[in-house]
């Protein structure tokens, strides 16, 4: 799981109060769904909320759970509870495979160790391949009694509609900057958290696992390089070679955030053109932007980040991508 799912020692994200209240109300009314889909903005706490929901179902004091004090709650937050299973990407894999889902389904069919719920957290659930998603659908359609499957993802469109329709959806939005800064200061102490968020976007649980000063410096370097390329003043080859030497995944997150900021700014200014156009996507001064192509660039940056665990020439891959930013 990502760093945010390992955040047992961090304070509760203050912006998740409404989502926690909704889950607690469903639990109190015996209406907790078998399938819960948490659609999160990246780094906004979706996996933390999934662990909290698991504690809710497995707490030894169900009338006031999760208490956060009992042995069960502690084991959940340490990811050691025998009735809690995790399913995610295995080493050197970009997909969750059918064999993993079948093993999980077999585990969920067994009797609970504590005589209560069995819970499984799937993250990132949008990495399920087609066969794995179909296998999961069978469990969602006929779940064993007292079973809770929690899917955490950022792109629901990657899952089949049949899977989505069998889950109750809970959306976790990115918190306001003020809340993020207050939470980061409480969780990690003083730091350049504002500049760190400028680098990765409004993703406090991603930022919390990093050195804010280093992240801020990296973000400044990447933004300056992208601004130069967009203005026709940078050198694509040297920039790609330099960025390929280290922190490539973080640099790609910076690129995604920079592109997203451009999209939002242009949308607010009415600078989008709606027709397809064979022209530079970004330019110096006041750009005329093709929204379809810009969103395509964001998706390409995500796909490139997802391929970093397979053999490829990172310098050439970055060069090919950056050439699309240069006029």
Question: What is the rounded CA–CA span in Å between residue 25 and residue 36?
Answer: 14
- For residue 290, the model assigns a pLDDT of 66
90 pLDDT above the threshold of 60: yes
The whole-number average pLDDT for the span 276-282 is 49
Q: Is the pLDDT of residue 327 over 70?
A: no
Please state, in angstroms and rounded to a whole number, the distance separating the CA atoms of residues 16 and 8.
Answer: 15
Give the pLDDT band (50/70/90) at residue 164.
Answer: very high
- The whole-model pTM stands at 0.82
User: pLDDT tens digits, residue range 31-61?
Assistant: 999 999 999 998 999 999 999 999 999 999 8
**Pair 140, 162: CB distance under 8 Å:** no
Q: Which domains does the chain have, with CATH numbers?
A: 3-172 (3.40.50.300), 177-323 (no CATH)
What is the model's pLDDT at position 11? 85
What pLDDT score does 319 carry?
A: 92
CA angle, residues 23, 200, 53, in degrees to nearest 5: 15
* pLDDT over 60 at 272, yes or no: no
- Per-residue pLDDT at 159: 94
pLDDT confidence band for 269 (50 / 70 / 90) = low
Q: Average pLDDT over the chain, rounded to whole? A: 86
């Amino acid at each position: 799981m990502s760093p945010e799912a390992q955040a047992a020692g961090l304070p509760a994200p203050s912006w998740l109060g409404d989502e926690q209240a909704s889950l607690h109300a469903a639990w109190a009314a015996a209406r907790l769904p078998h399938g819960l889909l948490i659609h999160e903005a990246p780094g906004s706490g979706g996996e933390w909320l999934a662990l909290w929901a698991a504690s809710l179902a497995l707490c030894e004091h169900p009338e006031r759970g999760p208490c956060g004090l009992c042995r069960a709650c502690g084991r959940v937050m340490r990811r050691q509870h025998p009735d809690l299973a995790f399913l995610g990407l295995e080493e050197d894999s970009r997909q969750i495979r059918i064999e993993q889902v079948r093993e999980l389904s077999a585990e969920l069919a067994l009797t609970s160790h504590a005589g209560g719920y069995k819970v499984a957290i799937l993250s990132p659930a949008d990495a399920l391949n087609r066969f794995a998603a179909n296998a999961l659908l069978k469990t969602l359609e006929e779940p064993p009694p007292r079973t809770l499957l929690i899917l955490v993802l950022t792109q629901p469109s990657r899952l089949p509609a049949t899977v989505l329709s069998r889950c109750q959806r809970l959306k976790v939005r990115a918190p306001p900057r003020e809340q993020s800064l207050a939470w980061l200061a409480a969780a990690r102490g003083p730091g350049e958290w504002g500049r760190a968020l400028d680098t990765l976007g409004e993703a406090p649980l991603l930022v919390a696992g990093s050195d804010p000063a280093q992240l801020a410096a990296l973000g400044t370097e990447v933004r300056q390089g992208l601004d130069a390329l967009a203005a026709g003043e940078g050198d694509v080859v040297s920039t790609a070679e330099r960025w390929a030497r280290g922190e490539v995944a973080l640099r790609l997150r910076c690129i995604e955030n920079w592109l997203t900021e451009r999209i939002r700014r242009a949308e607010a200014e009415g600078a989008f053109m709606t027709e397809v156009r064979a022209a530079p996507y970004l330019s110096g001064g006041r750009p005329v932007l093709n929204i379809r192509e810009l969103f395509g660039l964001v998706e390409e940056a995500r796909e490139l980040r997802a391929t970093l665990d397979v053999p490829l020439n990172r310098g050439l891959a970055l060069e090919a991508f950056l050439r699309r930013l240069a006029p």
